[in-house]
Structure 1
Amino acid sequence: MLVATASTFFVLNTAPVACVISLTEQKPLKKVWSECYFWSFPYYLLGAAIAGIVELVDKKAGWQSSLLILPVVYLIFRSYRLYLARLEAERNHAEGMAALHLRTIEALALAIEAKDCSTHEHLRRVQVYAMSIGKEMGLPESELEALRAAAVLHDIGKLAVPEHIISKPGRLTPEEFERMKIHPLVGAEILERVQFPCPVVPIVRAHHERWDGNGYPCGLRGQEIPTGARIPDTLEKLAAEPPTTKTALLCSLLFEIEAALRSGKTHKQIWQRLSEAGLDITCETFCRLIRRARERNRVSAARREKCRSPETARPTNCDQRGTRSGSQFPKSRSAQTGFSLSSYARRRCLGAWKKGIP
């Protein structure tokens, strides 16, 4: 009877608070309840046992004798409060140290962006898209936290890669590519020194592995690749075009997916990429994720167009956003009228210009 009473009181006392915390912090209710309150259940049982002893003593020897138990109850209450305070202090200290380490390493990761202007804001975009895909896949909270950190830190190993290789606009030579392939292992070695509360290092080490086993550095295949590592790899594949075509790539993907949805068909190319990466999300979900980025791309495109205009032209080869502007291409008549050619058309124009074709 006492156990049932203590259990009922425990559930009624902790469940509403756990629900509020779960809704506020967007964490699973079961995880919040088990981590924050379930450990205190023995104290509820102990309190119920003390109440039963007090009731028994009151019946046998009168209520005056039950006063002898009050010091014991007070000591138990004080120890419970001190334990809660110490647990909260340890949790805050651990979270603070983890946040400090994460901010320090994020600063190093942002230094990678500074080495290559073509990847400006790439890490932040990968983080936003990866978290959205992870939530749609229903990943556990620990994997989401690992994905949040790994999305920003996955290229930190490029600190060991020479800057001329990172910034090279064309295809890498075999020797340069072999040098580039070391950055997942270097990044994992750097992050192993940080005590993350979630599995970040395996994601960083395997974020260039491929579903067919042709990735690097370990040649993992299929289910051997950590789930979190498959998401940044897919995003890297979708963004594998030259820097000048990234915005056009996202826009074309959006238009093709929307057209496929309107016609009731599935976009085979995009779906194949997602399937090869092992991402179990629907085409509608991917379309919604791309639509969220359309407004950001529109703003970025407007800024680049403003920098390319004759009034605000700059002698450098990079615009204000740090993206290579493609100013080496000859301006066509459509460009003079305010119409922006696609990167493919600009390459065709450049080829004709070099050959002397009018």
Structure 2
Amino acid sequence: MLLKFLKLTQFRCYAEVRIDVPDLGLRIVGDNATGKTSLLEAVGLLATTRSFRNAQDRDLVRWGSGEEYAVAPFTRVEATIDGGEGQHHLGIAIELAKDVESVASKRFELDGRITSAHRMVGHFTTVTFTPEDVQLVIGAPADRRRSLDILISQIDRVYLQRLTRYSLVLRQRNSLLKSFARDRVLPTAAPAVTQISFWDEQLVAEGGYLVALRARMLDQLDRAMEQRSSEIAGEVSFGLRYASRTSVHLPSLTGETSEHDAVTRASQALHDDLERHRADEFRRGMTLTGPHRDDVEFEIEGRSLARFGSRGQQRMGVLALKLAEADVVAIMTGDGPVFLLDDVLSELDNSHRDLLLDAVRTHASQL
């Protein structure tokens, strides 16, 4: 996978910039607050349609954008990429409303045609590594879920669609449960059971798919991390553990199990869990089980890396994960991802810096 050309218009601190990117990649050097990370952010935006800095879309628009031409504030990012599917031109345009606080439109373009985020994601794969990524080990479960979801979505476009639908269904179901809790509706009331069953069916259909795909991805990442551990830390082994909040037997979703059977088993487990928690959900007014409550735990020698690992070991654990992500992307897509490294080489000692660069060369990846 190669990024051939990048153009930013009214993006962050850039009025306009055009870059022809060499096949070996770019090394960007400059003082603080000069836009180095913003360039990487723009590239990552084209891969996932979202900022890896968790910024809101309105924050991507350059301050004062549109004033010169008396138009609404806007930004546009576009690039030409060359990968296993051939060459594509990607573009994202964001326009703000008059109040400058909300987004009026966000448009996605693939080869000159308007498309959806779901159809755009997957054409361009990246692995991003920033100094803040060590927080994945000790941070909130939502950050680890988001990181995993971004990885799977770049490989499986259907996953992103199912994830979006799951979020919508979850929001509707929680709204209904909240009204039941407020009005003290009994979980045995026939009208309430009919209403909640409608959303249960959809939640199970989407949620079962997410649980199964997460389990299968984490199984591959865990094995890849174990292989990378010997290179990074000698005899110390890093790994990942899927802490699913469903009752599904996770080993039954991986290995020789087909994806279809894995989804069926995960869906059945989620259905049973919803039935078991129904009374408590009616009382508390929220969905208590499902992939939105999952976690991914980093491990060192089978124990919690967050609890028992040093700061240096936590950094090495994240490095092992990023290398494993690149390994899995290359295996599943047949094409190495583009690495986006934001000032992380300064965080590593010489040996680990060389290891990371060697991994990029192994995949013939662009840096």
Is the TM-score greater than 0.5? no
Tell which has more relative contact order, 1 or 2 (C-alpha 8 A, sep 6+): 2
Bigger radius of gyration among the two: 1
More strand by share: 2
Q: Normalising by the residue count of structure 2, what TM-score does the alignment of the two structures yield?
A: 0.25
Q: Normalising by the residue count of structure 1, what TM-score does the alignment of the two structures yield?
A: 0.25
